[in-house]
Amino acid sequence: MNGAKIVLESLKREGVKHIFGICGGSVIPIFDELHSEKDLKFILTRHEQAASHMADGYSRATGEVGVCIATSGPGATNLVTGLATAYLDSIPMLAITGQVASHLVGNDAFQEADTTGITRPVTKQNYLITDVRDLAGTIKEAFHLARTGRPGPVLIDIAVDVQRAECKFEYPEKVQIRGYKPKIKGHKKQIKKAAEAINNSERPVIYAGGGVISSEASGHLKKFAEKGLLPVTTTLMGKGAFPSESELSLDMLGMHGTYYANKAVQESDLLVAVGSRFDDRVTGRLSDFAKKAKKIHIDIDPTSISKTVKADIPIVGDCKNILSLLTKQVERRQRKKWHEKIAQWKEKCPLSYTEDDKLRPQYVVEQFWKLTKGEAVVATEVGQCQMWGEQFYKYNKPRTFLTSGGLGTMGYGFPAAIGAKTARPEKTVIDIAGDGSFQMNIQELATCVVNKIPVIVAVLNNNYLGMVRQWQELFYKKRYSQVCLGESHDKRVPDFAKVAQAYGAKGIRVEEKSKVKDAIKEALAYKQGPVVIDFIVEQEENVYPMVPAGAALDEIMLEMA
């Protein structure tokens, strides 16, 4: 079997059904085999970065390893942003790239780049294959690494002559990697110490991150919290790990987290961190973060524990197993005063916005939540639209909120939504977009139209790079330097509804609050392909609450001073 065929057969052995990418000179042999392939569906994208985000969105929506393919040189380098996005958010993904012929590697051949060297900092592992006999085993190993331990993206760079070379195809059943044995079960004594600390605490808070979703532990987290009557706050990556509408939910903490989550964390006497890494957007000023609290840190990655915040009780292992054992040992305690205090904070400062006749972005997101009954998969771009998408759509299930957390990648949401819809065609999939981010991968409207993928793009069009404009307003005396995206403050460019129509998609423009519901209903009813709704929202609307950079979590701005 030739190397190209080995690649495709190996992918099928791993359960792959969809691949995203673009052909090119160094991967033609693989695409030649794809021509007669019936079991693998290939989605031809219009840019390699979008292909990597589609594979990422596919993975986040399912838990499976998303796969993308690109050619050598610029094709491979265009994947780097998507790999970095997946790497920082611990998303299992496989990128396959072509490379120049093995005898030309290192000679600056046409469309040659040191792909393994370039991508080493943003992959969990990467490989350069120059011998066809190594191909099947490497693919097996790559899937194992991507899925296990702390998940992440893996890249395999395959010389074009290897794709044409032949050998006997033998796909390994098992993988043994020396020095790589992720610890799954937590230390029993540490778990017992953690349970005792929880039972003795008066003001506990669970702080849950994306690791809960990665390990399929959302149900275990819910049982754990409900048995112990423990309040739960999540990170941006942890949205959906715990039901937003639960009485125990504090919603998100951090820079744009809720007032009550941040206050609860700062006043807690015990913080139970589960599958989270104490990111700087979560902690605020580190020296003042949860100073009154003892910290329990549960994570499968030992290098994350005590990396930023010292753990008093560290537990290395898979959080599904650890939460299951903790639930058996945790006592049900009412802690009436603590819950009353949290209720007071919730009543004092709920998530809210000005309700008037103006078309505000928060209202748009809220209507999507009501009209989809919270059952959609929501992807977001990055910036203000991302925060409003997190705040005003309620997520009660895992794998329903897809966003670039660690890298903050503009242009992520739309291709991620395409990947999610490809993986879960039965679900309504919405991209909550900003007019800045959407234009970074707007060309994928063609991918959607050609493949009849009915994704809804809700453009919260404020004519600005909104989050940067907000910072300039609050901290730079309204010196709006290079953030207006239109011809002027009053003239917006482009008309997204017309752009959508030019691609063959459905385009809707909404300028009045009274037209929002009807536009959303029209989009939800349209199944023939993508819909872009251009919501002309208030230009200087800000995201609140907000903890300024360098401030402590309880130094929170609820509105502009």
**DSSP annotation of 153:** E
Flag whether 477 is in a domain: yes
What is the C-alpha separation between 191 and 299, in angstroms, rounded?
A: 12
pLDDT for 487-497, tens place per residue? 888 899 999 99
Mean pLDDT value of segment 452-469: 98
**DSSP annotation of 187:** P
pLDDT for 41-87, tens place per residue? 999 999 999 999 999 999 999 999 999 999 999 999 999 999 999 99
Flag whether 127 is in a domain: yes
Flag whether 171 is in a domain: no
Query: What band does 559 get if pLDDT is binned at 50, 70 and 90?
Result: confident
Same structural domain, 335 and 202: yes
pLDDT for 140-199, tens place per residue? 999 999 999 999 999 999 999 999 999 999 999 999 999 999 999 999 999 999 999 999
Judge whether 167 and 1 are in contact, CB under 8 Å: yes
Flag whether 82 is in a domain: yes
**DSSP annotation of 133:** G
Q: Where are the beta strands (DSSP E) in 76-133?
A: 93-99, 125-129
Same structural domain, 13 and 148: yes
- Which residues neighbour 392 within 8 Å (Cβ) at sequence distance 6 or greater? 351, 353, 362, 365, 366, 369
Same structural domain, 323 and 460: no
Q: Which of 322, 348, 374 is the last residue of a domain?
A: 348
For residue 70, the model assigns a pLDDT of 98
- Which residues neighbour 17 within 8 Å (Cβ) at sequence distance 6 or greater? 39, 40, 41
Q: Which of 348, 373, 391 is the last residue of a domain?
A: 348
Please report, for the domain that includes residue 474, its CATH number. Answer: 3.40.50.970
* Cis before 74 (ω within 30): no
This prediction's pTM: 0.97
What is the C-alpha separation between 413 and 396, in angstroms, rounded?
A: 20
Please report, for the domain that includes residue 213, its CATH number. Answer: 3.40.50.1220
Same structural domain, 382 and 506: yes
Same structural domain, 391 and 510: yes
Judge whether 543 and 252 are in contact, CB under 8 Å: no
If you search the block for the tokens 């206050």, which residue do you land on? 263
Flag whether 176 is in a domain: no
What is the C-alpha separation between 284 and 282, in angstroms, rounded?
A: 6
Which residues sit opposite 19 in a β-bridge? 42
If you search the block for the tokens 């669970």, which residue do you land on? 206
Instruction: Indicate if the pLDDT at residue 235 is higher than 60.
Output: yes
Instruction: Indicate if the pLDDT at residue 209 is higher than 90.
Output: yes
Same structural domain, 274 and 305: yes
Query: What band does 347 get if pLDDT is binned at 50, 70 and 90?
Result: very high
**In the β-sheet with 401-402, what is the strand arrangement from edge to edge?**
401-402, 377-380, 429-434, 456-461, 531-536, 506-510
pLDDT for 85-103, tens place per residue? 999 999 999 999 999 999 9
| Residue 157: HSE in the Cβ half-sphere, 13 Å Cα cutoff | 25
Displacement of CA 347 from its chain's centroid (Å): 30
Flag whether 462 is in a domain: yes
For residue 560, the model assigns a pLDDT of 65
DSSP annotation string for 428-490 = -EEEEEEHHHHTTSGGGHHHHHHHT---EEEEEE-SB-HHHHHHHHHHSTT---S-B-SSSSS
Question: Would you report the helix, strand and coil content of the chain in percent, each value rounded to 5?
Answer: 40, 15, 40
For residue 490, the model assigns a pLDDT of 85
Same structural domain, 283 and 377: no
pLDDT for 260-300, tens place per residue? 999 999 999 999 999 999 999 999 999 999 999 999 999 99
If you search the block for the tokens 């560290």, which residue do you land on? 314
Burial class (CB in 10 A: 0-12, 13-18, 19+), 480: middle
Two structure tokens written together for 453 = 């993928």
Flag whether 149 is in a domain: yes
pLDDT for 305-339, tens place per residue? 999 999 999 999 999 999 999 999 999 999 999 99
Closest C-alpha among 229, 219, 220, 228 to residue 321: 220
Instruction: Indicate if the pLDDT at residue 561 is higher than 60.
Output: no
Same structural domain, 325 and 201: yes
Structural domain of 262: 188-348
Same structural domain, 233 and 327: yes
Same structural domain, 401 and 491: yes
Q: Which of 294, 318, 348 is the last residue of a domain?
A: 348
Same structural domain, 335 and 367: no
pLDDT for 17-29, tens place per residue? 999 999 999 999 9
Closest C-alpha among 190, 280, 302 to residue 235: 280
For residue 144, the model assigns a pLDDT of 98
Flag whether 178 is in a domain: no
| Count: domains in the chain | 3
- Which residues neighbour 199 within 8 Å (Cβ) at sequence distance 6 or greater? 329, 330, 331, 333
Same structural domain, 343 and 366: no
For residue 495, the model assigns a pLDDT of 97
1-to-12, 33, 67, 162 alpha-carbon distances in Å: 15, 11, 22, 11
> Mean pLDDT over all residues of the chain?
97
Judge whether 68 and 19 are in contact, CB under 8 Å: yes
What is the C-alpha separation between 319 and 299, in angstroms, rounded?
A: 7
